[in-house]
């Protein structure tokens, strides 16, 4: 199953595959790679078709629970692994700008970051980790995680369901999927490119200065 081929992913994986994807997006450290928004919206569109792959009410019940369960796993990882997992491995993987942005959100909004972070690609993967190692009370985290998961997951599914009944949107669904994925892919590509250029420039300057460590 390829989560980037949204139609075939949902047709093959069904509700179970969708729930696994929602769990992975915040439950493990590579979740930022997956197009959660696109999959949820498409699931709603497909649920509005004459032969839906799943009932709307069932999607709106189990998918938010899977997303909230992923948050719990991310929180435990953050608590167990500590600050180094975010400021070390994750910073190298997703780029310092996303890590710094997540920290700013926590400093400014506190627990509300857990709710609002659900709606921001990449940040929703980092949020449970930061909440875990920063010492946010588990009860507070769980409350805002559940609220955010329900509003985000059910909201996108319902949006796709109602818009999926519009013929033009139903016939051009791939446009919305691509547009949603671009909002994640382009910023990450730009971030990777900037970091690569910065490292290359630093290495070039070090070689010019005769630094033996760059050999």
Query: How far is the CA of 186 from the CAs of 75, 122, 180, 183, in angstroms?
Result: 28, 12, 11, 6
Average pLDDT over residues 140-146: 95
| Predicted local distance difference test score (pLDDT) of residue 28 | 76
Helix (H) or strand (E) segment spanning residue 58:
helix 56-81
DSSP H helix total and E strand total for the chain = 12, 0
At 189 the pLDDT is 65
**Would you place residue 142 in the very low, low, confident or very high pLDDT band (cuts 50, 70, 90)?**
very high
Where are the domains positioned within the chain? 6-171
Q: In the prediction, which pLDDT does 145 show?
A: 95
Residues ≥6 apart with Cβ < 8 Å to 31: 24, 25, 70, 74, 125
Would the pLDDT of 181 be above 70?
Answer: no
36-47 vs 155-163: helix axis angle to the nearest 10?
Answer: 50
State residue 45's pLDDT score: 85
Asked if residue 17 lies in contact with residue 57, where contact means CB atoms within 8 angstroms, the answer is: no
Q: What is the pLDDT of residue 177?
A: 63
Going by the DSSP 8-state scheme, the letter that residue 32 receives in this structure is G
Give burial (CB, 10 Å; 0-12/13-18/19+) of 155: middle
Residue with more model confidence, 112 or 194? 112
Dist. CA 48–CA 43, nearest whole Å: 9
Specify the higher pLDDT residue, 78 or 144: 144
When the pLDDT of each residue in the chain is averaged and rounded to a whole number, the result is 79
State the pLDDT at residue 70. Answer: 93
Q: What is the pLDDT of residue 9?
A: 67
Band (pLDDT 50/70/90 cuts) for residue 173 is low
Lowest mean pLDDT among 8-22, 57-71, 178-192: 178-192
Provide the CA 41 distance to its chain's centre, in angstroms.
Answer: 14
What's the confidence (pLDDT) of residue 143? 96
Helices 123-133 and 56-81 cross at an angle (nearest 10°) of 50
Six token digits for residue 184: 């994640």
The pair of three-digit structure tokens given for residue 209, joined into one six-digit string: 């200065």
Rounded CA-CA distance 54/85 in Å is 37
């Amino acid at each position: 199953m390829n989560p980037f081929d949204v139609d075939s992913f949902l047709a093959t994986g069904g509700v179970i595959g969708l729930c696994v994807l929602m769990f992975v997006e915040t439950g493990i450290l590579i979740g930022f790679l997956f197009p959660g928004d696109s999959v949820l919206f498409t699931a709603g569109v497909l649920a509005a078709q004459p032969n839906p792959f799943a009932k709307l009410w069932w999607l709106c019940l189990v998918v938010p629970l899977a997303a909230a369960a992923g948050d719990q796993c991310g929180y435990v990882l953050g608590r167990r692994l500590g600050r180094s997992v975010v400021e070390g491995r994750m910073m190298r993987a997703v780029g310092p700008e996303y890590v710094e942005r997540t920290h700013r959100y926590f400093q400014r909004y506190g627990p509300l970051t857990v709710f609002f972070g659900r709606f921001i690609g990449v940040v929703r993967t980092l949020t449970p980790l930061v909440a875990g190692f920063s010492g946010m009370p588990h009860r507070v985290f769980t409350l805002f995680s559940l609220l955010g998961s329900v509003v985000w997951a059910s909201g996108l599914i319902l949006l796709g369901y109602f818009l999926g009944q519009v013929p033009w949107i139903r016939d051009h669904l791939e446009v919305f999927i691509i547009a949603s994925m671009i909002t994640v892919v382009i910023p990450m590509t730009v971030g990777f490119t900037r970091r690569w250029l910065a490292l290359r420039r630093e290495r070039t300057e070090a070689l010019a200065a005769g630094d033996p460590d760059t050999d």
